[in-house]
Structure 1
Amino acid sequence: MLGRDGELTANMPERRSLSELLPRQSLFATLDRRTALTIVRAPAGYGKSALLASWLHTRSTSGRLPVWVAAPHPSSSTADYWSMVLRQCSQSGIAISATPADSYTDLLAALAESDRSVQLVLIRPDRIPNAELESQLIELVSRCHHLDLVVTLSGLTLFPEPYLLDIDHTLIGADDLLFSIEDTRMLFGLSDTTLLPGEAEQITATTGGLPALVRSVVSVVKALPQQDRRGDLLELNLQRAINKYIHEKILADSEIADHREFIVTCATARTLDVDTARHLFESGESREHIRGRLLLLETVGTFSRIETETEETWELAPAVRRSILALQAQSGIDPAQQMSLLAHYRLDSGRHASALKYAVEAHDWQLVVHIIEHHWVTMISDNLETIRSALQRLPEKAVGKNVAVKAGRNLYTMHMTKNVSLVDTLPTSPEELRALGAGDSAKDALSVGCVQSIMLRIAGEYEQAAETTRRLSQLSRSALENNPDDVTAQLPIMHLQWGITFQLNGRFAESTIEMRTAYRGGQSQGADYIAINAAGSAAMNWAIVGEPLQSQRWTQLEYRHPDAHDRLRSMVKVSGLVARTLASLDTLDFAAADEALTALGHAAEREELWAFVIYAHCQYALARRDTFSALSLLHSAVDAHQKHLKPGSFAGPLMRSTEIDLTLALGDGNKASALAAEIDDPADNPWTLTSVARLRQKTGQNEAAVALCHQFDWAGESYPRAQMETLLVQAVAHCQLGEHRRAAEAWSKACSIADQTGNLRSFSTIARPDIDQLESLAETNSSALAQFLKVIPAEAFPQSLQIVTLTERERTVLSLIDDGLSSAAMADKLFVSVNTIKTQLRTMYRKLGAHNRKEALTRARELRLL
């Protein structure tokens, strides 16, 4: 973006100025790893070549021969390029064949036959427009074992997905190359320029840490006076220096001369996709032509690709964008007006948070109020900081009499004012809620209450959030009856949010009621976003509780609605894809489950439904017997979301239950028992009850397993999956206890649930011999069982497990081993003979499967016996 890497040097120079030899130790350490392929990818001006030259000059080559190849001219052919690389290798002392074939073949042969390690640095090979270049570079690395290749790139024309490569590689990206405050301070120190306290921070913030921009302001700062007006002059001259650099190094670049107006116009957008660029640059050009502009500007390093976006998206560095925005007025463009127009465009396409950011940037406060008033419910879960920032900047006079916006400001910014009259708490009695809903303040009460309930949810107070939501649901019924014109428009999205609150609290019946209402409301209003999300969420509720047929009906409803903006499906996909994964697993359609799980991917960092995503991955792993990796995934997710595992969170018992099941599937009865012992009351939740009951039965505690299964009121709320699996536990337990009549009764009930729900996979939680024996006792002729037996998937758990237990004396001996005591010392301490200690050691070793003290301690820790 900011300068041409090739202009730094035609070949690697013998020496550089001190300011360019900045010792960036963390990046040097990354380069020192010397992987077969190192990719340094960033727009121009991020200091890619400067970094590599500094590294090669200041680090030991360790016997490696460095070969530096400058950036090729854009008009060069592939053959020309390989000739240049070959020539540079020859000049660096690499022996080249005397019988030349073609440049690439000669280079490959020379590097493959070289007995000396070579560090080949290629600057911007992506300037060569040839699709075969990537495969040639990979072949070089693969066949030349003494070669380490480093390439600098702008854009994604080469190695767009390096993580899919079969060769060892390192990737250094644009964010890695930005200067930290310490880097800025060091650069100025090497340039003999004194910075006053706070100036390094100011320079880094103003430039965004872009190396080329930071370097461009060194001379400006050096010329400042030490005292008088230094602060004002620094701010002014910094921006002037940046503007000068942008104008001379970017906009005046001959390679982008035909795109200058396009860049200036499109700088309005923080992030740029093809449709947004086409909307801003009203030239009538086709989408393909606009995309071609963006790809070219990416290749030359003006725009950088945002690789985390699902669709092609580009951006200018923030400091560059700010500078170019200042030039819009000179080009006859009103930046504020452009921002407002872009905000409306984003709003029309359903991107409410993005619209709000542009409206704030344009100081279009009327539009800011409108967006918050009408769309805060859709934004609050994932864009809380955006709303908070907007409300903090919103002038008091712009709020007017909008009570909902005032409520949001008070709740988000925590600045309560005595001039605002709010419904601080909702009444608790049905009578008072009906009266409130019948009054003129019903709409405001719903808005404020909904803000409060979502804020409680975000804070992890799930029980309070659910209780507030129940009151809101009652209030909404009265308001809809008495004030339909005021509240009808906002209720569907509110019902959707209330349904999510109940999901996170584990109240799936209540959640499904809200989702059904939200779906109907969204459908009647033509709001596909709401309808898609509500249908997918309802499908997930049914899938979680174990009703795959009901879940699939809601999935069909979800996919009836068009995705008008070609992106809503990805925004609201999580619940629907979890539903598809679980329902497909339950109906033994493993190909469909795999497809849905692949589309689902892993939960984003701030995804509220993260636990359901993890659950889907773990259930798939149980079905496919890949439990070890799933356990690792679960542990990572739980560690990352500790603050969400508060009382009232369904994620807590769901993750505990899933961890027990995965550990049980691995055959580790001791660890599973230790996990179960950490649960205060397994019967408090149907998921933990099922897992602990299964554990007890698998470890031979049949009577305890049956007793636990009876501790839950299955008639209170429908949990068919958990009920079916506990019935299977009871059936096997009764059978092993010789209670065949009871075993047949439990088996028949389980088969009946399977027939009604279509849940086939739960049969795989018990062993095939147990299934055959139980069916011979009951003769249910279950259609679901018949379908299951046609597939016969892998059994999820071992038929039985042994738990290693130690006597109290053995535990004492084990702890003394851990203390490092010898057998004689242990005998003295315990007042027994050495032979007695040896006998106890032999018995303990046999139980642990260990052969010595070290193995015994390791195994004991694995089994949580120590």
Structure 2
Amino acid sequence: MSRRMLAVMRKRGLHRRSFGVSALTGDSHSSLHTPAENGRNFRHQPLLTRRMPLGIDQSAVFRSRFLDEFNDGVRLAVVRGPEGSGKSTVIDAWIARLEPRTRVVRIPEPVFGCSAAEYLNTVLRGLRGTGSPQDASFSVDEAASAIDGDLVMVLDQLGNCVDAPAVGARLLELLRRCSELSVIVETRAAIFDAVELAAVDGHVEIGPEQLCFTVEEIIAVHRTVGIELGSEAAERLHRLINGEVAPTVLAARLAKQLGYPVVDLRGGPVPEYLARLSATAEAVLDRNDVSPWRKVVLEWAPLRTINPDTVPPALEQLGLLQRRSRDSLVEYPAALRMGLLQIARRELDDDVAETLDALAASALAEDNATEATLYACDAENWTVVGEIFEKHFARIIDEDLAGAVRVLQAFPDEHRESFPVVQAARSSLIGLGEMPLVVADLPTTDADLAAIATSEEAMSIATRATIRALGLRRLGYYGEAVELAERIHRILDDVFEMNKPHLDAQRSMLRLTLATTFQLAGRYSSAATQLLYAFRSGSSAVRRKSAGVLALNWALQGDMPRTVQWLRAGADQAHPPGRWGTSMRLPGDCAQALCHLERFDLDAARQVLDNLGEPEFREERWALMAYVRALWSLLCGEPTEGLDWLDTMIQQHRHYYVPESLGHRLITAVRVDLHLAAGDANAAVAVLDNVQARSGPALLVARARTELLTGRPDAALAAASGATHSEETCARVRIDAMLIEAAAHVSGGDDDAATQCWRTACRIAERCGCYLPFALLGSAHRDRLSELTGVSAPALAALQPPVFPAGSLAVVRLTPRESELLQFISQGLTLTAIAKNQFVSPNTVKTQLRSLYRKLGVNTREQALAQAARLHLLDHADMQVS
């Protein structure tokens, strides 16, 4: 069949490029929900009703996002989709919300093949409120005379008419004549063209794509049957069937029976679900009105899209095909196509896989690599899939990111070794769920790296090394990952110098991956270099992701003009819908939230953070998002809430929370600030001591602030100076450190040094637009320094209430000897045992214990241990002893 069938398809004009799929079979006609006062509603039982027993809470199918689509300003609402797409439930929900005084006329579904004249006469009888056929010859004048007051007319399955567009033309004329009339049309086939709809003052069209469930709605549907479906499983199901309503309901009910999701980890249907889809498709083919088309339907099953001009209208009217809103091509709903392909493989003499291979080759010959990849994936020809993806991955990801993810997820492990680009793209897109650690050792000398760049295998070697660097960073080996990334960077630079533009897309993807490695390790400058290269030469997907990551890169450093610049650049790049769009927007959204925080617009920042929600498990930048969220809690005066939120995030991502990462350093620093804001200085000290935070600018500033707020300005000055003079220090941290230095100098009586630090900090802040550190300095110090220098603090920094409590925070500090003694009594050792261990007398131990008790304000061992735990001193004692 394959080559012959492909030739027939071409002859008929059936084979067209593009993809995307939507809903399934079996439309449900639930009972009418109308206001009780609509006593004159004219409604017949549909003559052709195919109920789909959902077996779930119907409210889950209503999709509340549609409720406001039909409002007072809408004159014509068209709900179009194949059977089983939940059209009736949307319309019923609209009607249920109408004002009681609104008259509703619902015209029953016509018999399939009904003439336009017969149907229009039925409409006229409905408007008159009588079922009598006499004197019911339709005209616009007659219909208009029957309308008195606000009226909503609902036309069920208008597409069943032989000449539905002619009926639509009369309805549009009636709408122009009667301002009190609104019309809701339910149809499987397209009736109005774009020009006709645009001429209606106030219209809305909901097509098959919009009727599909979102990922969140898929989770809600499963919840109605008692299944808590994880977001990753819901995303796999959504990619498989595009959120089509009836197949989703079937998936939820089957998952309830099986006890596990109906889509496996590779994104394919489990055998039980595939069997149900095949049975559903078989039932559709066995229907009396469909059975004459059985052979044609099965022969067309391999096709992803079909030219609508060559399709018998009956197939769309019967709900077998759906017309896409974006290009008017028709296609099988995704789940129905899966079932039909299974039947075709059994019944047709020729090999369906060979047909799919031929379609893939034809699509590739027409320069449609995206659709070629999908056809090859349907045929499970992974060699072809890999070869196409290696050459055209940038275009494929740009044109259909969700489809690319589905292909990458389905790609078998045993075939990936031969296709490094597939490995790299899969690892990058799947997120933390993938930890590839391929063998890819690179030499260390520039000469050897340059030799690799001149070889034919340069990009293959660089790709494999990038995959290894990605795996190393996900395993927490940031130092090794950065070293390898620097060597890869040198190879890519040399390849760039050779002027090979056909490699730009692949290089850009690798550079974006390297940039993530550098950024997550805190190497801001190296990350920016890679991101600039990626943005200039990358595909649309790479450019939009690079812009967002660059914005976050500058926002974390406190350079707000550059942050705004890259946020604007990112706004010019369209983002895909759904979860992948959310993931791509996350860096930019975090940068936007930081911009709002720098202006102390806490409400705007809260809105951005609420839209982000909690970071997903697979999101590598979870710690950076958590840091921004904690900063918001700090500035809002909610330190306890911020600490609780951070603790939850850390527990969920414990395996990826390693000291080498930038996220660990930032979260540690903001945890210290949150404890200080809560007045718990001992907790802040314990956090710093447990991570041995004596290096790294952000942690040095956290230590300096702790010392300053606990009345030790000299220690604060020493720590802050270390951060100020470090080459790794970014603008925000430098401003923060210099403000602490200024406050410490004031406390020590060195007004000249304080003046210099304050003025320098104000100049940097003015240049960078970074004012947040000023809010972290106490108002007494701010006022004194402003008075001393004549340079006022930014007005924005006067947060109410202040971030930290006024005055010096109380803190209990133990000497090393006291920490050791506390550790001994926590182990339950007796006085004699402690004395013997320390080579002193029991009386000496008693004296030391009394001193420890006085410092803790207690009288007994038990009280001492309880107080030490509250003050976080036991952990500190553990570290001192070790």
Instruction: Calculate the TM-score normalised by the size of structure 2.
Output: 0.58
Residue from 74, 82, 94 that aligns with 2:30: 74
Amino acid of the residue matched to residue 760 of structure 1? Y
Residue from 633, 642, 647 that aligns with 1:630: 642
Paired residues of 2:485 and 2:517 also in contact (CA < 8 A):
yes
Aligned pairs for 1:457-606 (under 5 A) are 457-482=473-498, 484-485=500-501, 487-522=503-538, 527-563=539-575, 569-606=581-618
User: What residue number does 2:803 align with?
Assistant: 796
User: What residue number does 1:769 align with?
Assistant: 780
Deviations 1:825-851 (A, max 9, x none): xxxx9879x99999997x678x48x9x
Paired residues of 1:549 and 1:758 also in contact (CA < 8 A):
yes
Deviations 1:523-568 (A, max 9, x none): xxxx222221111111111110111122111111211234487987
User: What residue number does 1:37 align with?
Assistant: none
Amino acid of the residue matched to residue 513 of structure 2? Q
User: What residue number does 2:873 align with?
Assistant: 865
Residue from 426, 437, 441 that aligns with 2:442: 426
2: distance between equivalents of 1:293 and 1:243? 16
Name the CA shift for 1:267/1:787 in 2 (closer, same or farther; >3 Å): farther
Aligned pairs for 1:152-171 (under 5 A) are 171=223
1: distance between equivalents of 2:347 and 2:673? 65
2: distance between equivalents of 1:75 and 1:798? 62
User: What residue number does 2:117 align with?
Assistant: none
Name the CA shift for 1:445/1:805 in 2 (closer, same or farther; >3 Å): closer
Aligned pairs for 1:366-405 (under 5 A) are 366-372=384-390, 374-375=392-393, 387=408, 390=411, 392-394=413-415
1: distance between equivalents of 2:596 and 2:368? 31
Structure 1 residue 638 displacement after superposition? 1.5
Residue from 762, 770, 781 that aligns with 1:751: 762
Q: Secondary structure at the match of 1:696?
A: helix
Name the CA shift for 1:414/1:858 in 2 (closer, same or farther; >3 Å): closer
2: distance between equivalents of 1:814 and 1:768? 39
User: What residue number does 2:200 align with?
Assistant: none
Identical-residue share of aligned pairs (%): 22
Number of equivalenced pairs? 631
Structure 1 residue 325 displacement after superposition? 3.4
2: distance between equivalents of 1:676 and 1:546? 23
Residue from 696, 700, 722 that aligns with 2:707: 696
User: What residue number does 2:254 align with?
Assistant: 210
Aligned pairs for 1:162-561 (under 5 A) are 171-173=223-225, 175=227, 210=254, 246=280, 279=305, 323-329=339-345, 336=353, 359=377, 362-363=380-381, 365-372=383-390, 374-375=392-393, 387=408, 390=411, 392-394=413-415, 424-482=440-498, 484-485=500-501, 487-522=503-538, 527-561=539-573
Name the CA shift for 1:214/1:440 in 2 (closer, same or farther; >3 Å): closer
Aligned pairs for 1:17-56 (under 5 A) are none
2: distance between equivalents of 1:796 and 1:263? 68
Amino acid of the residue matched to residue 367 of structure 1? V
Deviations 1:163-186 (A, max 9, x none): 999xxx9954464599xxxxxxxx
Paired residues of 2:745 and 2:754 also in contact (CA < 8 A):
yes
Where does the alignment leave 5 or more consecutive residues of structure 2 unmatched?
Answer: 1-23, 37-54, 62-87, 99-209, 231-249, 260-270, 323-332, 429-433, 831-840, 875-882
Residue from 642, 658, 664 that aligns with 2:670: 658
Paired residues of 1:426 and 1:449 also in contact (CA < 8 A):
yes
1: distance between equivalents of 2:612 and 2:757? 36
User: What residue number does 2:627 align with?
Assistant: 615
Q: Secondary structure at the match of 2:873?
A: coil
Structure 1 residue 473 displacement after superposition? 1.4
Name the CA shift for 1:730/1:261 in 2 (closer, same or farther; >3 Å): farther
Paired residues of 2:594 and 2:605 also in contact (CA < 8 A):
yes
* Bigger relative CO (Cα 8 Å, ≥ 6 apart): 2
Name the CA shift for 1:703/1:211 in 2 (closer, same or farther; >3 Å): closer
Structure 1 residue 774 displacement after superposition? 0.7
Deviations 1:29-54 (A, max 9, x none): xxxxxxxxxxxxxx999xxxxxxxxx
Q: Secondary structure at the match of 1:210?
A: helix
Amino acid of the residue matched to residue 474 of structure 1? R
Deviations 1:752-799 (A, max 9, x none): 211111111110001112101011112235xxx34436x645432223
Paired residues of 2:226 and 2:256 also in contact (CA < 8 A):
no
2: distance between equivalents of 1:427 and 1:657? 37
Which moved further from structure 2: 671-680 or 791-800? 791-800
Deviations 1:355-384 (A, max 9, x none): 6797265325323322145439998x9999
Structure 1 residue 721 displacement after superposition? 0.8
- 1:741 and 2:752 equivalent? yes
Name the CA shift for 1:387/1:567 in 2 (closer, same or farther; >3 Å): closer
Structure 1 residue 673 displacement after superposition? 0.9
1: distance between equivalents of 2:866 and 2:700? 31
Where does the alignment leave 5 or more consecutive residues of structure 1 unmatched?
Answer: 1-42, 46-71, 81-120, 137-154, 179-205, 216-236, 270-275, 297-313, 417-422, 822-828
1: distance between equivalents of 2:820 and 2:630? 34
Paired residues of 2:536 and 2:543 also in contact (CA < 8 A):
yes
Paired residues of 1:357 and 1:386 also in contact (CA < 8 A):
no
Amino acid of the residue matched to residue 714 of structure 1? H
Residue from 729, 740, 750 that aligns with 1:729: 740
User: What residue number does 2:661 align with?
Assistant: 649
Instruction: Calculate the TM-score normalised by the size of structure 1.
Output: 0.59
Amino acid of the residue matched to residue 675 of structure 1? V
1: distance between equivalents of 2:410 and 2:275? 30
Paired residues of 1:391 and 1:409 also in contact (CA < 8 A):
no
